[in-house]
Amino acid sequence: MDLPEGFQDLFDDVTRAFLALATVRGPNEPVVSPVWFVADGDGLLFVTDTGAAKARDMRSRPQVAGIVMAEAEHERYVSVRGRADEITGEKGLDPVALYRRIVRRYEGRDPEQPFEGAVFRLIPVRLTGYDYRDSAL
Protein backbone atom coordinates (compact mmCIF):
# COMPACT_ATOMS: atom_id res chain seq x y z
CA MET A 1 0.00 0.00 0.00
CA ASP A 2 1.49 3.32 -1.08
CA LEU A 3 0.80 5.62 1.88
CA PRO A 4 1.02 9.40 1.51
CA GLU A 5 4.28 10.91 2.79
CA GLY A 6 4.01 12.00 6.43
CA PHE A 7 0.92 9.92 7.23
CA GLN A 8 2.43 6.47 7.84
CA ASP A 9 1.85 6.74 11.60
CA LEU A 10 -1.92 6.59 11.07
CA PHE A 11 -1.50 3.04 9.77
CA ASP A 12 0.95 1.56 12.30
CA ASP A 13 -0.18 -0.65 15.18
CA VAL A 14 0.71 1.99 17.79
CA THR A 15 -1.41 5.01 16.81
CA ARG A 16 -5.11 4.89 17.71
CA ALA A 17 -6.37 5.87 14.27
CA PHE A 18 -9.89 5.10 13.17
CA LEU A 19 -11.44 4.45 9.79
CA ALA A 20 -14.73 6.29 9.21
CA LEU A 21 -16.06 3.86 6.62
CA ALA A 22 -18.74 4.97 4.15
CA THR A 23 -20.89 2.27 2.55
CA VAL A 24 -24.11 2.46 0.56
CA ARG A 25 -27.25 0.94 2.03
CA GLY A 26 -30.38 0.12 0.12
CA PRO A 27 -30.97 1.90 -3.16
CA ASN A 28 -28.73 4.95 -2.52
CA GLU A 29 -28.37 5.74 1.18
CA PRO A 30 -24.80 6.51 2.29
CA VAL A 31 -23.93 5.39 5.82
CA VAL A 32 -20.73 6.05 7.80
CA SER A 33 -19.47 3.70 10.52
CA PRO A 34 -16.39 3.94 12.76
CA VAL A 35 -14.11 0.94 12.25
CA TRP A 36 -11.09 -0.45 14.08
CA PHE A 37 -8.57 -1.70 11.53
CA VAL A 38 -4.98 -2.75 10.93
CA ALA A 39 -2.89 -2.11 7.84
CA ASP A 40 -1.56 -5.28 6.31
CA GLY A 41 0.29 -5.54 3.01
CA ASP A 42 -1.79 -3.96 0.29
CA GLY A 43 -4.87 -3.10 2.33
CA LEU A 44 -6.73 -2.40 5.53
CA LEU A 45 -8.16 -5.37 7.45
CA PHE A 46 -11.13 -5.12 9.79
CA VAL A 47 -13.74 -7.36 11.37
CA THR A 48 -17.45 -6.96 11.92
CA ASP A 49 -20.42 -9.08 12.92
CA THR A 50 -21.38 -11.44 10.12
CA GLY A 51 -24.92 -10.05 9.97
CA ALA A 52 -24.01 -6.39 10.52
CA ALA A 53 -25.59 -3.87 8.15
CA LYS A 54 -22.17 -2.66 6.95
CA ALA A 55 -21.20 -6.27 6.12
CA ARG A 56 -24.37 -6.66 4.05
CA ASP A 57 -23.68 -3.30 2.40
CA MET A 58 -20.14 -4.31 1.38
CA ARG A 59 -21.26 -7.72 0.13
CA SER A 60 -23.76 -6.09 -2.22
CA ARG A 61 -21.69 -2.98 -3.11
CA PRO A 62 -18.00 -3.39 -2.30
CA GLN A 63 -17.06 0.14 -3.40
CA VAL A 64 -16.35 2.14 -0.23
CA ALA A 65 -14.78 5.39 0.88
CA GLY A 66 -13.68 6.84 4.17
CA ILE A 67 -11.11 8.72 6.14
CA VAL A 68 -8.43 7.51 8.54
CA MET A 69 -7.61 9.90 11.38
CA ALA A 70 -5.98 9.70 14.76
CA GLU A 71 -8.19 9.76 17.82
CA ALA A 72 -6.61 12.95 19.17
CA GLU A 73 -5.86 14.79 15.92
CA HIS A 74 -8.70 15.54 13.52
CA GLU A 75 -6.94 18.18 11.42
CA ARG A 76 -4.80 15.54 9.70
CA TYR A 77 -6.27 12.56 7.89
CA VAL A 78 -6.06 10.29 4.88
CA SER A 79 -8.96 9.97 2.46
CA VAL A 80 -9.42 6.38 1.27
CA ARG A 81 -11.35 5.12 -1.75
CA GLY A 82 -11.43 1.51 -2.79
CA ARG A 83 -13.07 -1.87 -2.64
CA ALA A 84 -13.83 -3.91 0.48
CA ASP A 85 -14.19 -7.65 0.01
CA GLU A 86 -14.97 -10.32 2.57
CA ILE A 87 -11.98 -12.62 3.09
CA THR A 88 -13.16 -14.59 6.14
CA GLY A 89 -12.39 -18.01 4.66
CA GLU A 90 -9.27 -17.03 2.70
CA LYS A 91 -6.44 -19.55 2.83
CA GLY A 92 -3.66 -18.51 5.19
CA LEU A 93 -5.84 -16.04 7.10
CA ASP A 94 -6.06 -16.53 10.86
CA PRO A 95 -9.18 -14.54 11.85
CA VAL A 96 -8.60 -15.10 15.58
CA ALA A 97 -5.03 -13.74 15.41
CA LEU A 98 -6.23 -10.78 13.33
CA TYR A 99 -9.01 -10.03 15.81
CA ARG A 100 -6.48 -10.22 18.68
CA ARG A 101 -4.13 -7.82 16.82
CA ILE A 102 -6.92 -5.31 16.23
CA VAL A 103 -8.15 -5.39 19.84
CA ARG A 104 -4.58 -5.04 21.15
CA ARG A 105 -4.07 -1.97 18.94
CA TYR A 106 -7.11 -0.19 20.35
CA GLU A 107 -7.45 -1.56 23.87
CA GLY A 108 -3.89 -2.59 24.68
CA ARG A 109 -4.95 -6.05 25.83
CA ASP A 110 -6.26 -9.35 24.52
CA PRO A 111 -9.96 -9.52 23.67
CA GLU A 112 -12.35 -10.73 26.33
CA GLN A 113 -14.83 -12.11 23.79
CA PRO A 114 -14.02 -14.88 21.30
CA PHE A 115 -13.96 -13.94 17.62
CA GLU A 116 -17.21 -14.55 15.81
CA GLY A 117 -17.62 -12.51 12.69
CA ALA A 118 -16.54 -11.60 9.20
CA VAL A 119 -13.18 -10.29 8.01
CA PHE A 120 -12.96 -7.67 5.27
CA ARG A 121 -10.00 -6.32 3.31
CA LEU A 122 -10.21 -2.81 1.90
CA ILE A 123 -7.89 -2.40 -1.07
CA PRO A 124 -7.40 1.32 -1.68
CA VAL A 125 -7.41 2.64 -5.22
CA ARG A 126 -6.71 6.15 -3.96
CA LEU A 127 -5.12 7.43 -0.74
CA THR A 128 -4.83 11.20 -0.28
CA GLY A 129 -3.37 12.90 2.78
CA TYR A 130 -4.69 16.18 4.17
CA ASP A 131 -3.06 18.28 6.90
CA TYR A 132 -4.90 21.37 8.14
CA ARG A 133 -3.01 21.85 11.40
CA ASP A 134 -1.42 25.10 10.21
CA SER A 135 -4.42 26.39 8.22
CA ALA A 136 -6.73 29.17 9.22
CA LEU A 137 -10.04 27.91 7.93
Mean pLDDT of the chain: 93
Cross-sheet strand order for the sheet of 63-70: 29-35, 17-25, 63-70, 73-86, 118-131, 43-48, 38-40
Mean pLDDT of 48-60: 95
Q: Name the residue among 89, 76, 82 with its Cα closest to residue 134.
A: 76
Positive or negative: CA dihedral 8, 9, 15, 17:
negative
**pLDDT number for residue 137:** 57
4-28 tens-digit pLDDT? 999 999 999 999 999 999 999 988 9
pLDDT tier, 75 (very low <50, low <70, confident <90, very high otherwise): very high
Distance separating alpha carbons of residues 39 and 25, to the nearest angstrom: 25
pLDDT for the residue 114: 85
Distance (Å, rounded) from C-alpha 20 to C-alpha 134?
Answer: 23
Kindly tell me if the per-residue pLDDT of 98 is higher than 90: yes
> Burial letters for 28-52: b for 16+ Cβ neighbours within 10 Å, e otherwise?
eeeeeeebbbbbeeebbbbbbeeee
- Listed by start position, the domains of the chain span 8-131
What integer pLDDT is reported at residue 11 of this predicted model? 96
Task: Select the CATH number that applies to the domain covering 8-131 from these four: 2.30.110.10, 3.40.190.10, 3.50.50.100, 3.60.10.10.
Answer: 2.30.110.10
What whole-number percentage of the chain has pLDDT above 90?
82
Residue 136's pLDDT is what?
A: 62
**Could you give the dihedral angle defined by the CA atoms of residues 14, 132, 45 and 101, in that order, rounded to the nearest 10 degrees?**
10
